[in-house]
Structure formats: structure tokens, C-alpha cells
Amino acid sequence: MVNEKVLAIAKLIKITGVSQQEIIDSIAIPSDAKMGDYCLPCFKFSKILRKSPVAIANELVESFGELTTPLVSANAVNGYINFVTDKLFTAKKVLGEIIEKGKEYGNRQSNGKTICIDYSSINIAKPFHIGHLCTTVIGGSLYRIYKKLGYNCVGINHLGDWGTQFGKLIVAFKKWCSLEELNEKGMKALTEIYVKYHQESQKDESLDAQAREWFKKIEENDSEAMELFNIFKDVTIKEVQKTYKRLNITFDSYNGESFYNDKMQPVIDKLQQKNLLTESEGAKIVDLSDYDMPPCLIVKADGATLYATRDLAAAYYRKEAYDFDKCLYVVAYQQNLHFRQWFKVIELLGESWHDSLVHVPFGMVSLEDGAMSTRKGKVVLLEDVLNKAVEKSLAIIESKNPDLQNKEDVAEKVGVGAVIFSALYNNRIKDIVFSYDKVLNFDGETGPYVQYTNARCNSVLEKVGEIDITKANFDAVNNQECNAVIALLELFPKVLGDCLEKYEPCYLSRYLVNLCQEFNRFYFAHRILNEEEGVKTARAILVKCTKTVIEEGLSLLGISAPKKM
């Protein structure tokens, strides 16, 4: 979506051989607001016009003639054209649109395209730990933003529900657990016996042989093996649903690895027909040496399939079932090679949609004391992290606002929101060392800071009461502080588009911090309540629009916004 001011600038620029869309794409916002509201760098036009950028900028400005609303002035400076726009026009237009559309501000109409997003993808019978945080909240945020911008979204939890570990778990369950204990302790019981198995198997090698035998029974659909397998699966999903609910995460599909058991052979057959499969030490591989990659292993020497085989089968299934425009895989950067390999296999198979497959990598998250291992039992449960963040939030609320109603509910929203925001604030590819003190800071670049600013907006609006936009004197918001807020409010739809272009929710979280900072400058510089009606109304509208965008932005990140804090 192109705003009216950018379009007005683009219409002024007449350069033979350069389209209006190319002009629009070149228009930027100056890093220094004193230079103007928009700028057009003329460097890229030098080759076409065979002139210096300075000469091009000067000549274009001379050709403009008298400017009309929404443009006020244009100046050529060192090869740039800087434009100043009509702030009053912008205020009326932007604030009026947000008041009219409410939380639907920034929405786009349905474009008929489908996006599949594979994220979170927890393992059955393994705990939901802090390492799952990034994939879960990045995927969930992209899902909500895509929906807002008119896409049909399919959220997929590709469950890790296949492999020899289930044979190990059955052996452990039969030796050291019972259905009564499992019903009572849930996932905790599964984690305990999984850890115990790996301790005991180092002393007794026969356990691994028993585990392989039980997994073979699962593959053969043995009734006892399948009953236990499904019990473990149900216990896991029931447990993780509690955490997903706290994180505001939902899925449209839980089709995991086992779902593709009967869908892999057709893919292997395709590879065979295309003469892409070669044998190597008894295994079947796709040779990728021409592409500077190790071979993609499709079938092991013992006939077992691998992750790549299942991912290939899943991609074909999703293309057929959903006819996706893109299929995103929100998976840690350690899997970069894996995705490059099987994406290349899809391309070699001649599928036109191979470039619709996108790996969205992210860095690792850990607490200050380092890494985790499920086998050794040194895992940091995400539930424990959320609980501790909520506990610390409640303590802060008790000290700052002890009379606040529904303190426990507010602490839940603040604590969980702080954890989510911390995972979405930095570029997703960066590793994160999680610190409770940093993420719960009410004055820093954090979730609580954004939530607190929103609560401030609510407090003002409660005191103002009903707002009649017809009484607004918009001259009251035509000043430096108000203009800075309005300029950011106008940017909201573009920020959402940027998030999808780069698969980066951090653009939205950083935007919200910037918006809150500018709003708070306005809040401390200008009175709202004790002003005459027209001034009060205009400034109250600015507060209401800011609140609308903050709340919608937080919602897209998966974070709740308490009315009071």
C-alpha cells in the first residue's frame, strides 16, 4: 500500500526509462527528521541520464513548479531531494483513518494466497523447553501478521512423533513406570523415565536391543506398542497445550512425522524415475556435490527413512492439500544445511514450486547458566521460565501498585508478555541469553514498557470520557512531539509489510518501542485534560489512536495488553 504523500512525490518525478513503481521504491524517510519527511536519492539515475546526482536533483526540483497538498516544499541537497509534507493534512488523514478502522487499521483485503508455516514442532514425550521459545513465538507472530495482511494461513506443528526413541520410552515405561503414575505426573513422568533409560543403557547394552524391537513393533502397528505410543502422544499434547494457551499460540494441523509413513515411497519412486538416486555403502542418496553440498541421504542401508525423506513427503502433501504460495519452516539455523539439501532435491525433481519453500532460521536461546540436554535431564522447562517471569512481575506490581485489582491476571500478562517480547525484539538470527531482570524492566526496550505505555493511554482515555471527533482542533496536534507520533502511526502498515518481506517480527517489536518513546515525549510535553474542548479532543484522539496501534501490535506478537498496571 502506497500512502498519498509518496504517490504525490512519485507523480512529480519524470525520468525517461524509469517507472513510477521504481520511483516509489526509491523514496525513503531521512535519518534526520530536520532534513524533511521523505527523500529521493538520485544516485541510481546517473547512469540513465549521464549526469551527476547533484545535477539531477537540482533539475528535477526546478521542474516541479508550485507544489500542492500534501506536499509543502522540495529541496535539492547533495544529490538528494528532500520533501516536507503538510503535517495538518497528515494528522487529519492518519488519525481519522485509525479512529474509523480501529484494530483493523493496517489490514489488507484477502489476496487468495495461502501460506503454510511449520513452527514449534515439539517432540512427543520430551518437555517443552526454553529452546522451543523462538520457533514458537516467531512462527505464531508471522502467522498472525500474514492473516492481517490478507493471506490464508495454515499453522503446522510438525510433531516429532517417530524414531527409535519411542522404543526406548516403551522399554523405560514398562520397567519403571505405570499408567497410574503417568496419569498423575504427566510429562514429568515421561521425562524422568527417559533420563533414567539413558543412564541405565550405559550400564546395560541389552536395553538398546529391546528398544529397537519395540520400535519395530510400532512400525508393524502392533496393538500394545501403538496403544502406548498413542498414550505418550496424548499426554504430551495435553501438557503442551497449556503452554501454547499462555503464549496465545494455535495450530491448524498437528500432522507429525508418523503421518507421512505411507507418503514417502511415492517420493522415493519419483527420485528413482528421475535417476536422482544413487547407492552409497548400501544407502540411497541424492548426490549434491555439483552444488557444494554433502549428499542428501534418503534411505539408510538398513532401509530406514530419514528426516529429509519425511520433509520431502510433507512438502508434496502440503502443496497438494493447501496449494501454498509459500511454505515457511521456522527452524534453528543449525539446520541450514538440511534445508538447503532437500530444497535442492525438490528443485532437481523439476517442481516449479521449489522456490516457494523458505527456511526461516533463528538463533538459540538459553539462560545465563548455558545449554540444555534432555537426555541428561538438564533441561530448562519453558513453563518454569514463564512461571518465574510471572512471579517476578507480581512482586514488581506489589511494590509499585499494591492496590491494583486482578494483580495475578496482570502479572500473568506482563510476565508471559515479557518473555515473548524478549524473543522477538532482536533479529531472529541472533543468539539470546535470557535475563529476567532485563526483560522485566518497565523503563527499557521491553514488553512491560510497551504494556505500561498502553495502560497510560487507557488511564488518560478513562478520564477524558467520550470523544467527539467533530469537536477536534487538529492544530493542537501540529507540533514536533505530536507530529513524531503521527508519523509513526502512519508507518504501521508499512512495518507489517516489512516484517513479512524479511520474515522478521523484530521490526514490529522495535517499532512499538519507538512509538511508545515518542508518545511518552508527547505525554510529558503537552497537557491533555486541562485544555479547552477542541485541544483536549484532538490530543485525546492522538492518545486513542496510539493505544489502538499498540494493542494491535502487541496482539500480533501474541502479547496481551492489560488495561491497568
DSSP per-residue codes, 154-193:
EEE---B--STHHHHHHHHHHHH--HHHHHHHTHHHHHHH
Q: Quick one: pLDDT at residue 6?
A: 93
Q: How confident is the model at residue 366 (pLDDT cuts 50, 70, 90)?
A: confident
Residue-wise pLDDT tens digits, 214-224: 998 998 889 99
Overall size of the chain counted in residues: 565
Residue among 419, 415, 373, 370 nearest 397 (CA)? 415
Q: Quick one: pLDDT at residue 127?
A: 78
d(CA 298, CA 304): 9
Provide the mean pLDDT of the chain: 93
Residue 152: burial class (beta carbons within 10 Å; 0-12, 13-18, 19+): middle
Neighbour tally for 336: CB within 10 Å = 12
Instruction: Please identify which residue in the block is written with the cell numbers 522404543.
Output: 167
Q: What percent of the chain has pLDDT over 70?
A: 98
Whether the per-residue pLDDT at 373 is higher than 50: the answer is no
Listed by start position, the domains of the chain span: 4-85, 116-365, 382-557
Q: How confident is the model at residue 19 (pLDDT cuts 50, 70, 90)?
A: very high
Q: Quick one: pLDDT at residue 375?
A: 47
Neighbour tally for 266: CB within 10 Å = 12
Residue-wise pLDDT tens digits, 384-393: 899 999 999 9
Q: Quick one: pLDDT at residue 374?
A: 46
Residue-wise pLDDT tens digits, 180-212: 999 999 988 998 998 899 899 999 989 999 999
- Region 477-481: mean pLDDT is 96
Q: Quick one: pLDDT at residue 434?
A: 78
- Region 113-137: mean pLDDT is 92
Q: Name beta bridge partners: 359.
A: 329
- Region 16-39: mean pLDDT is 92
Domain 116-365: give its CATH superfamily: HUPs (3.40.50.620)
Residue-wise pLDDT tens digits, 501-557: 999 999 999 999 999 999 999 999 999 998 999 999 999 999 999 999 999 999 999
Which of 23-37, 358-372, 532-546 has the highest mean predicted lDDT (pLDDT)? 532-546
Q: Which CATH number describes the domain made up of 4-85? A: 3.30.1360.70
Backbone φ, ψ for residue 25 (5° rounding): -65, -25
Please state whether 558 falls in left (phi above 0), alpha (psi between -120 and 50) or beta. left
Distances (CA, A) of 394 to 253, 389, 448, 524: 35, 9, 12, 27
Residue-wise pLDDT tens digits, 291-342: 999 999 999 888 777 899 999 999 999 999 999 999 999 999 999 999 999 9
* Three-class DSSP category at 38: strand
Whether the per-residue pLDDT at 124 is higher than 90: the answer is no
Q: Quick one: pLDDT at residue 1?
A: 65
Q: Quick one: pLDDT at residue 370?
A: 58
- Give the right CATH number for 382-557 from 1.20.120.1200, 2.30.29.30, 3.20.20.70, 1.10.730.10: 1.10.730.10
Whether the per-residue pLDDT at 174 is higher than 80: the answer is yes
